[in-house]
Structure 1
Amino acid sequence: MAETEAEIKARKERERDELYALDISGVEWHCAPGTEEHEERVEIAYLPGGAVAMRSSLDPDTVLRYTEAEWRAFVLGARDGEFDLEPAPRDGGSAEKDAKKE
């Protein structure tokens, strides 16, 4: 039997509440290879059940947490280019116009 929209919402809220209730004080934080301790970087920690925590090295007290499904969707989207940055506009023009000039 398929879940109703209300059941899905309730399940996701429960998962989020459980994820944020986890004590992550002892987790090991990882960052991209080649980054230095003093550099600004994104750090992740692997949590139980395939979940992931993410923070900025500049604000280590603010931690976002993602379920395994959320993290998988993010990683696959990033690999697919969904989060690629648009070229920055130059001289007040649009990024699209600048891209066509090149």
Structure 2
Amino acid sequence: MYDLTGAVWHKSSRSNNSNNCVEVATGVPGCDVVVAVRDSKERSGPVLVFRRGEWKAFLAGAHAGDFDLNQ
């Protein structure tokens, strides 16, 4: 379990201040190998934690269209 109390959360600049987004935190205090993800509507709710390699693989797949539901 990671202590995310001091994590700095970021939301996409494309979210237009909407609360229907995910927020991502890198540089989790005491652990520089994880990326944390949470729902911006429920900031005190559950958090998914990924190792950097897993997160990079997810982003590469997203950029490649691997998760495009319209295909």
TM-score by length of 1: 0.57
Structure with higher RCO (Cα < 8 A, 6+ apart) = 2
* Moved beyond 3 Å, runs of 4+: none
Per the alignment, do residues 80 and 34 of structure 1 end up closer, same or farther by CA in structure 2, a change over 3 Å counting? closer
Larger Rg computed on CA atoms: 1
Indicate the SS of the match to 1:78. Answer: helix
Greater share of helix residues, 1 or 2? 1
Say what the alpha-carbon RMSD is for the aligned residues: 1.6
Q: Where does the alignment leave 5 or more consecutive residues of structure 1 unmatched?
A: 1-20, 88-102
- How many residues of Structure 1 are paired with residues of Structure 2 in the alignment? 66
Match of 2:10 in 1: 30
Question: 2:65 — aligned with what?
Answer: 81
Question: Percent of aligned pairs with the same residue?
Answer: 35
Q: Any unmatched runs of 5+ in structure 2?
A: none
More strand by share: 2
- TM-fit CA distance, 1:27: 0.8
Match of 1:68 among 49, 52, 58: 52
